[in-house]
Amino acid sequence: MEMYFSSTGYKIEAPAGVRVQRGLCVRIPCSFTVGPGYTLTRDAIGIWYKGYNGSKSGIIAASTDSSWFPDTTNGRFIFTGKVSAGDCSFSISDAQPGDTDRYQFRLEDRAPLRFSSFGIQPSISVTELKKPDISPTEGLIAGEEVTLTCTAPTNCPGLSPTFTWEGSVNTERTQNHTLRHQDGNFSYWSNFTFTPSPRDHNSPLTCTVTYKHDSAKANITLNVEWFDIEAPAGVRVQRGLCVRIPCSFTVGPGFTLTRDAIGIWYKGYNGSKSGIIAASTDSSQFPDTTNGRFIFTGKVSAGDCSFSISDAQPGDTDRYQFRLEDRDPLRFSSFGIQPSISVTDLKEPDISPTEGLIAGEEVTLTCTAPTNCPGLSPTFTWEGSVNTERTQMYELPQQDGNIIYWSIITFTPSPRDHNSPLTCTVTYKHGSAKANITLNVEYPKEMCFDSKLIPVMVAGNIIILALMGLGNVWYLKRTKKIQGKGKTREDPKLKAEEAEYEARKSLCRHRANHIDRQDVVQCVPVPLSVSHSFTLCAEPAVGGLELSGTDSAHSRVYNRGPSRGDSAEGALCAHPL
When pLDDT is cut at 50, 70 and 90, the band that residue 511 belongs to is very low
Residue among 508, 343, 493, 505 at smallest CA distance from 431: 343
- Range of lowest pLDDT (14-28, 304-318, 471-485): 471-485
CA distances for 350 relative to 141, 280, 370, 476, angstroms: 50, 37, 8, 74
> Region 138-161: what's the mean pLDDT?
85
Q: Higher confidence at residue 352 or residue 111?
A: 352
Q: For 303-353, what is each residue's pLDDT tens digit? A: 999 999 999 999 999 999 999 988 876 777 776 788 999 999 999 999 999
Our CA angle for 233, 238, 242, nearest 5°, is 80
The pair phi, psi for residue 139, each rounded to 5°, is: 80, 20
> Region 527-556: what's the mean pLDDT?
47
Round to whole Å and give the CA distance between 315 and 268: 12
Tell me: pLDDT of 478 over 80. no
DSSP 273: G
Tell me: pLDDT of 37 over 70. yes
pLDDT at residue number 175 = 92
CATH class of 133-225: mainly beta
pLDDT at residue number 504 = 56
350-445 shares the fold of 227-344: yes
Tell me: pLDDT of 475 over 50. yes
Homologous superfamily (CATH) of 2-127 is Immunoglobulins (2.60.40.10)
pLDDT at residue number 126 = 94
- Range of lowest pLDDT (145-159, 250-264, 478-492): 478-492
Most confident of 102-116, 125-139, 559-573: 125-139
In the chain, what are the domain boundaries? 2-127, 133-225, 227-344, 350-445, 453-573
When pLDDT is cut at 50, 70 and 90, the band that residue 503 belongs to is low
pLDDT at residue number 132 = 93
Mean pLDDT, the chain, whole residue set: 79
DSSP 470: H
pLDDT at residue number 256 = 81
Q: Higher confidence at residue 159 or residue 365?
A: 365
Round to whole Å and give the CA distance between 77 and 57: 15
Tell me: pLDDT of 1 over 50. yes
Tell me: pLDDT of 566 over 50. no
> Region 445-468: what's the mean pLDDT?
64
- Range of lowest pLDDT (5-9, 108-112, 232-236, 571-575): 571-575
Tell me: pLDDT of 223 over 80. yes
pLDDT at residue number 577 = 32
pLDDT at residue number 118 = 66
> Region 356-361: what's the mean pLDDT?
91
CATH fold of the domain at 350-445: Immunoglobulin-like (2.60.40)
pTM, two decimal places: 0.46
- Percentage of the chain with pLDDT > 90? 38
> Region 549-562: what's the mean pLDDT?
46
CATH class of 227-344: mainly beta
Residue among 222, 219, 226 at smallest CA distance from 201: 222
Beta-sheet pairing, 224-225 with 140-141: parallel
